[in-house]
Chains A and B, each alone.
Chain A
Amino acid sequence: MNIQNTQWVTIGALNDIPRQGARRVIAGPKTIAIFRTTQDEVYALEDKCPFKDGPLSEGIVHGKTVSCPITNWVISLETGAAQGADQGQTQVFPIKLEGQTIQLGL
């Protein structure tokens, strides 16, 4: 992604997302899943598992990974890459966290 063209949009506050949880952001045809870890890091991935399109926002978050609710594939929140023996990639979106405010880069 070309950083210069990134548009930052405020999408909400940190506390809108439960720890070890996720919320959806609708961006036109795309749905983006916003994750919050136990350590209050925030990550954004397209809400689509690379394997069977499962909604990652509905998976179980553990560490910096999420398990797809449909296939149990484990996807890295940092890189969007499938972990372990599985091969696949989900699109990652940049996040800026200023205080409580979460900004999503599109």
Chain B
Amino acid sequence: MAKQRLVIIGNGMAPGRMLEHLFEENHAAFDVTIFNAEPRVNYDRIMLSPVLSGEKSFEDIIIHDDAWYAQHNITLHKGAKVAKIDRTAKTVTSENGITAPYDKLVIATGSDPFIIPCPGHDLDGVLPYRDLDDTDAMTAAAKQGGNAVVIGGGLLGLEAAAGLNTLGMDVTVLHLMPTLMERQLDSAAGYLLEKELESRGIDIRCKSNTKQIIGEDGQVTGVELEDGTLIKCDIVVMAVGIRPNVALAKDTGLEVNRGIVTTNGMQTSDANIYSIGECAEVGGMVYGLVAPLYQMAAVAAKHLCGPTDALFQHSETPTKLKVTGCDLYSVGDFAEGDDREDIVLRDANMGTYKRVIIQDNKVIGAVLYGAVEDGGWYNEMLKSGEDISDMRDTLIFGQAYQGGGELDPLAMVAGMSDDAEICGCNGITKGMITSKITSMGLTSLADVRAHTKASASCGSCTGLVENVMAITLGDAFKLPEVEGMCGCTPHDHGTVRRLIKSQGLKSIPAVMQELEWNTPEGCSKCRPALNYYLVADWPGEYQDDQQSRFINERVHANIQKDGTYSVVPRMFGGLTTPDELRAIADVADKFEIPTVKVTGGQRIDLLGVKKDDLIPVWDDLNKAGMISGAAYAKGLRTVKTCVGTDWCRFGTQDSTGLGVRLEKLLWGSWSPAKLKLAVSGCPRNCAESTCKDIGIICVDSGYEIHYGGAAGLHIQGTTKLGNVETEEEVLEYCAAMTQYYRETGYYLERIYKWADRLGYDHIKSVIYDDPVARKDYYERFLHSQKFAQVDPWAERVKGAEAHEFTPMADLTPREAAE
């Protein structure tokens, strides 16, 4: 049978999930074409707030990358908004003129943010909060600092407000109702939330009605309220609600009410057209959280594959707010009524509030603030409709309290029934996770996520999922490697690096304060890392903190086993001169240096120099024209070369000359870990380029650039970045790659590990395929070098950091000293 043509309008979270189900059911049945108004792949829209605050990058929240579409032979038209559906011809046509015929069509156009049509709503700087472009626009605005007004104190508005506040803007939230998030929270919880946000410096104004937005030269400058109050601001974020995006469906004559009307099988009034996601109306309801949308996706996938009795069923979805430090959970019905009972537990000291709403001895709703561990348990009772008379007295204390158990999260999860929901977003129960773990032999969180989807959307259930794994696997379960930088912070290196940039943190105390370090001054793991990140991110602005460097980098020499030091002068490209060699020999004689050795990096190591002699040794070497070789540094070490065309019969290019140029360009730069290069004059590879961090191999037509080699404890050959024709290009590509590594590497992460983590294809796409990005990195590298190319020896000979090199006092009695 010929393949059916399936066309999808919209590439959001709902259709993305539908395709996954479809390929599981029947991989070969469809030729899939997607039109997406957004110019990008399918990503986790829920996680835009962590992207806004800088805790995650866009790459982190991609659900399906380009490779996934290629692998499934899906044609994805990015940035192609469908303008017309022709139901007679069975085609859709996009604004940019692409027409595609369909056998089955799925409309998944999501929602449009609602914009209050008040005067000034179309000024520049008035933003909705819906997609990555909006998020980027907010981030860009926040870089200028200033004031932001967020209109709307619901889930979206508060996430935007918290994000902008983190980015350093002064934020005011205007909310029409008397308390925040009134649709999900009762007034008591709303009050606690308001207090928490105000304590962070967000100005919350409830019962505020916007009259107009004021601007100058088309740019927003303030907001005026009905009562005449004027609030100055540089941006306005409107987050007052969403409207199902039904325009296309309406134009083509489908039945439309609030949303596109569908059957419980997700079929519209045209049998060949389905609709899922926020644009669909099923059973008279439209939805705005992913859990029901994912259910629609599963049902639609089944119906596309053939007759089935799968039907969409309404269920309550709990709400959580993804603002770090504001834990709240709300589910079901919490309106007051004569036939209802409330059980309330408040703890003013802890700032927590719990309320469970009961009708006919059944839980019908719960609102939790500050202590949300039991949310899932209440939701389970709400769904099952279980009679709670027996535990009525202790219900509010939570699950752990039943049977007087300890407050042990593992015991709590162990006590859950198989039907208990663990992941609300994806509707995954404990039983579904345990059976997948057992049947497929899953052992890592990543695998469980990939095969069950549990914790793959908003991520707030990750801890629960890990506990289910721990119970199921026992000792076989290893918690994912603690990714925090060290015991001082739960943040991993990547998060810290992003937040340093996004929040503009420019000193170690600022990082520790803003990212809530749990030690006053860090430790010997995080301080050197932070110092490097700040040096790399704020060249010329950040003052290198010597006290946060390891001793070798503080004294610019390698401390040896016996407390003496080794001194290695730089020899660019491994070239030296008789004069330099004579000066080195003189120094060795004069200071009675016991060992002189040729290093693997083609230079000379003076071993056994006493600490008090370091400065005079450097002084003598400086006078002979030599500078520090940085043999101690997490930074550029050496560029090793072979002799090339000048002397070698096989040489294809001037490898020595190129090595010298490279080292002159790169010396002095700090990097996450040490950086070693080599240039070989021909593919015989005498300089061993193919096991270096960056290696160049000269060929007749120019130069091959390689990177990601290792030849230490771990041995790994390089991967080729690509070919270039001129020396200038070699310099630009290598410096750009170095800069990319400097900006994104984790402290102590060598290039090969960095490349394994980021992906070689990705690095190539940035440094080799994208000339604009490459130029940017290259220029940032050159800028940073202006501050880095200072010889530390010369500085210290002149008196810098003198305290490092001499004792403070010598109390040795005269006699004893003689």
Instruction: State the A residues within 8 Å of B (CB).
Output: 9, 11-12, 16-21, 23-28, 31, 34, 38, 55, 58-63, 67, 69, 72, 74, 106
Task: Give which listed residue, B528, B803, B809, B813, contacts A60 with CB less than 8 A.
Answer: B528
Which residues 111-158 in B have Cβ within 8 Å of A in the complex? none
Q: Which residue of B lies closest to A106 (CB)?
A: B811
Please, how many angstroms separate the alpha-carbon atoms of A72 and B528 in the complex? 13
Please, how many angstroms separate the alpha-carbon atoms of A100 and B808 in the complex? 14
Given the complex, which residues of A lie within 8 Å of B816, measured CB to CB? 28
Q: Which of B265-273, B473-481, B546-554 contacts A (4 or more CB under 8 A)?
A: B546-554
7 A–B contacts, CB within 8 A, in A order: A11-B808, A25-B810, A38-B521, A59-B524, A59-B551, A60-B548, A62-B520
Tell me if B513 counts as interface (CB < 8 A to partner A).
no
Tell me if B242 counts as interface (CB < 8 A to partner A).
no
Known contacts A18-B803, A62-B519, A62-B524; A9/B811 CB under 8 A? yes
Interface string of B512-543 (1 = CB under 8 A from A): 00000001111111011000000000000000
Q: How far is the CB of A16 from chain B (nearest CB, A)?
A: 6
Please, how many angstroms separate the alpha-carbon atoms of A11 and B810 in the complex? 8
Q: How far is the CB of A90 from chain B (nearest CB, A)?
A: 16
Tell me if B578 counts as interface (CB < 8 A to partner A).
no
Indicate if the CB atoms of A28 and B524 lie closer than 8 Å. no
Indicate if the CB atoms of A62 and B527 lie closer than 8 Å. yes
Please, how many angstroms separate the alpha-carbon atoms of A14 and B810 in the complex? 17
Tell me if B325 counts as interface (CB < 8 A to partner A).
no
Please, how many angstroms separate the alpha-carbon atoms of A61 and B816 in the complex? 32
Indicate if the CB atoms of A69 and B547 lie closer than 8 Å. no
A-B residue pair count with CB separations less than 8 angstroms: 81
Q: Which residue of B lies closest to A65 (CB)?
A: B523
Indicate if the CB atoms of B812 and A26 lie closer than 8 Å. yes
Given the complex, which residues of B lie within 8 Å of A69, measured CB to CB? 550-551, 559
Interface string of B804-818 (1 = CB under 8 A from A): 000111111100100
Please, how many angstroms separate the alpha-carbon atoms of A16 and B563 in the complex? 23
Q: How far is the CB of B556 from chain A (nearest CB, A)?
A: 13
Q: Indicate the size class of the contact surface on chain B.
A: 20 to 34
Q: How far is the CB of A100 from chain B (nearest CB, A)?
A: 13
Q: Which residue of B lies closest to A27 (CB)?
A: B811
Indicate if the CB atoms of B547 and A28 lie closer than 8 Å. no
Please, how many angstroms separate the alpha-carbon atoms of A63 and B798 in the complex? 31
Indicate if the CB atoms of B803 and A17 lie closer than 8 Å. yes
Given the complex, which residues of B lie within 8 Å of A9, measured CB to CB? 809, 811
Ranked 7 nearest A-B pairs via Cβ: A67-B524, A23-B808, A20-B547, A58-B551, A60-B524, A62-B521, A11-B809
Please, how many angstroms separate the alpha-carbon atoms of A44 and B812 in the complex? 17
Given the complex, which residues of A lie within 8 Å of B807, measured CB to CB? 23-26, 31
Given the complex, which residues of A lie within 8 Å of B519, measured CB to CB? 62-63
Given contacts A28-B811, A60-B524, 14 further A-B contacts (CB under 8 A): A9-B811, A17-B808, A18-B803, A19-B547, A20-B521, A21-B547, A25-B810, A28-B812, A59-B524, A60-B527, A60-B550, A62-B524, A67-B523, A72-B525
Indicate if the CB atoms of B550 and A26 lie closer than 8 Å. no
Q: How far is the CB of B485 from chain A (nearest CB, A)?
A: 14
Given the complex, which residues of A lie within 8 Å of B811, measured CB to CB? 9, 11, 25-28, 106
Q: How far is the CB of B547 from chain A (nearest CB, A)?
A: 4
Given the complex, which residues of B lie within 8 Å of A72, measured CB to CB? 524-525
Please, how many angstroms separate the alpha-carbon atoms of A28 and B527 in the complex? 34
Given the complex, which residues of A lie within 8 Å of B810, measured CB to CB? 25-26
Q: How far is the CB of B562 from chain A (nearest CB, A)?
A: 11
Indicate if the CB atoms of A28 and B813 lie closer than 8 Å. yes
Please, how many angstroms separate the alpha-carbon atoms of A21 and B520 in the complex? 16
Please, how many angstroms separate the alpha-carbon atoms of A60 and B531 in the complex? 12
Given the complex, which residues of A lie within 8 Å of B548, measured CB to CB? 20, 60
Please, how many angstroms separate the alpha-carbon atoms of A9 and B809 in the complex? 10
Interface string of B774-818 (1 = CB under 8 A from A): 000000000000000000000000000001000111111100100
Q: Which residue of B lies closest to A73 (CB)?
A: B524
Q: Which residue of A lies closest to B548 (CB)?
A: A60
